[in-house]
Amino acid sequence: MNTGSKNTIAVVLAAGKGTRMKSSTPKVLHEIFNIPLLGWVLKSLGDIESVIVTGSGRELVEAYLEDKNVKTAYQAEQLGTGHALSCAVSQIPDDFSGNILVLCGDTPLITNETLTSFIKYHNREESPLSVMTSILDNPYGYGRIVRDGFGCISKIVEQKDCTQEQAEINEINTGVYLLNYKLIVPLLSEIKNNNNQGEYYLTDIISLAVKHGLKPSAYCIKNFEEVFGVNSKQDLAAAFKIMNARHIDYLMTKGVTVCDPNNTYISPETEIEADTIVLPSCYIENKNYIASGCKIGPMAHLRGNCTIGEGCKIGNFVELKNATVKPHTNIAHLTYVGDAEIGSNVNIGAGTIFANYNSVTKEKKKSYLADGVSIGSNSVLVAPVELGENAFVAAGTVVTKSAEENSLVITRAPQKEIKNWIRSKK
Ligand code: UD1
Ligand code: CA
């Protein structure tokens, strides 16, 4: 992230229990396309320094964060969002004079662009405290933004504390804030828990700022989807759907043909070039790169770390993992390719298996197929094997040794014909 992010430290609130998930896994570790909700939030933060507040399921959350280059702060008891933020203060340098960006660990759809614009807005306004808000048709459940006679934000009222009149306000608190560390953090100690939930609400910081003569501002975003919070398994499925749709829309905008977006699943980590066609029921997870002019599917499964060159065909019931496929190669039917480097103009027949895993030694081995190789149907390639240019593997072969260019490889038992065999049985 650029403008203004240098003097920003993010605090991600992730200590809540997530009771409604009904799960032994902490809420923020539930995954969308194999990345935890919290991981998506961290991605949106780019290179902003962050402190993650952990609590429920602390060990698991901290284990996940171990290699993420973030600090963590522990909130032993979940006394509310205001209390959670004060727990993070110990991890922020005393002489810090920038802004704190507060967001929640359960909003995986927030984007770097929106956070960047929010930071720019906050800096331009020279605001001591900015709240990201949105207008909802059905604001039920959210904190409401209360404005004074001049249209300035004066406080946030939680659903459970709303008067009938306040409940009709459509502008809601998204739970994303930017606050001037030096001016606002000292006010955290003034937050009280005299509300209907007996919690220390971070939202009370707004009226406290006003009381101290500091004018908060509100940054209203149009795309509410971005701050959609995941609280239940239903929400998790909804967030998955939105994230998938958003990425497929991006791919279509750049020229990828997706025949049936509602029945196609492509991780945002996968990049696909224009003029590739993705047929229905493909599941493409993790990081992959697919060049242009390919035909993928129907019903293909790319599991990650795959690079597919131009003009390839990856057909039905083909599973690929950790594979590089050079241009104009066909892997058209019922095949598993794991841990392989495959040249260009290769043809892999139906029902080919790359046996890459030894379940005794637990080792995975790689295979190499040079340009022009042809694999006959129902063959097994027991890794590691290396096949030279234009090598030809006959159908039904179990390849256990490498072979030179232009060779025929065949392990087939000779065909026998026993004449009149049927009659002799009668
Ligand atoms: C909060 C806001 C509400 C806003 C909504 C937006 C408050 C009081 N209310 O409500 O105005 O409209 O978010 O989604 O802030 N957490 C902790 N420690 C705690 C409590 C919560 O870390 O003690 C974390 C949770 O893990 C979660 C986040 O803070 O990631 C928000 O908490 P949650 O209980 O979901 O707040 P909401 O009721 O959604
Ligand atoms: Ca929430």
User: What pLDDT is recorded for position 5?
Assistant: 65
Residues of the chain with CATH 2.160.10.10: 255-409
User: What pLDDT is recorded for position 345?
Assistant: 98
The CATH topology of domain 255-409 is UDP N-Acetylglucosamine Acyltransferase; domain 1 (2.160.10)
Task: Please report, for residues 109, 175, 229, 295, the alpha-carbon distance to residue 224 in angstroms, rounded to integers and kept in the order given.
Answer: 10, 12, 10, 35
- Substitution candidate for ligand 1 out of 58, 102, 104, 191 with most atoms within 8 A of CB: 104
Give the distance (Å) from ligand 1 centre to CA of residue 113.
23
**What does the alpha-carbon distance between residue 79 and residue 201 come to, in Å, rounded to a whole number?**
9
Q: Which two tokens stand for residue 248?
A: 């497929």
pLDDT of 97-149, one tens digit each? 999 999 999 999 999 999 999 999 999 999 999 999 999 999 999 999 999 99
Q: Are 105 and 14 in contact (CB under 8 A)?
A: yes
Considering every ligand atom, which ligand is closest to the CA of 103?
A: 1
- Name the residue with tokens 């662009």: 113
- Statement: the pTM of the whole predicted model exceeds 0.85: yes
CATH level 2 (architecture), domain 5-227: Alpha-Beta Complex (3.90)
Q: Which residues surround ligand 2, an ion (CB under 5 A)?
A: 229
- Substitution candidate for ligand 1 out of 81, 169, 230 with most atoms within 8 A of CB: 81
- Name the residue with tokens 């659903």: 159
Q: Whose CA is nearest to atom 34 of ligand 1?
A: 16
Task: Please report, for residues 11, 160, 168, 312, the alpha-carbon distance to residue 196 in angstroms, rounded to integers and kept in the order given.
Answer: 26, 6, 19, 61
Question: Which residues lie with the beta carbon below 6 Å from any ligand 1 atom?
Answer: 13-16, 53, 55, 75, 78-81, 83-84, 104-106, 142-143, 156, 158, 172-175, 201-203, 229
What amino acid positions are annotated as catalytic residues?
333
Count other C-beta atoms under 10 Å from residue 231's C-beta. Answer: 16
How much of the chain, in percent, has pLDDT values that exceed 90?
98
DSSP collapsed to 3 states, 289-306: EECCCCEECCCCEECCCE
Q: Which two tokens stand for residue 420?
A: 């009149």
**What does the alpha-carbon distance between residue 392 and residue 92 come to, in Å, rounded to a whole number?**
63
Residues of the chain with CATH 3.90.550.10: 5-227
* 156 CA closest ligand 1 atom index: 11
| Cα atoms in the 13 Å half-sphere on the side-chain side of 123 | 17
Burial class (CB in 10 A: 0-12, 13-18, 19+), 406: exposed
Confidence category of residue 3, pLDDT binned at 50, 70, 90: very low
Give the distance (Å) from ligand 2 centre to CA of residue 230.
7
Q: What is the CA radius of gyration of the chain?
A: 28
**What does the alpha-carbon distance between residue 223 and residue 331 come to, in Å, rounded to a whole number?**
41
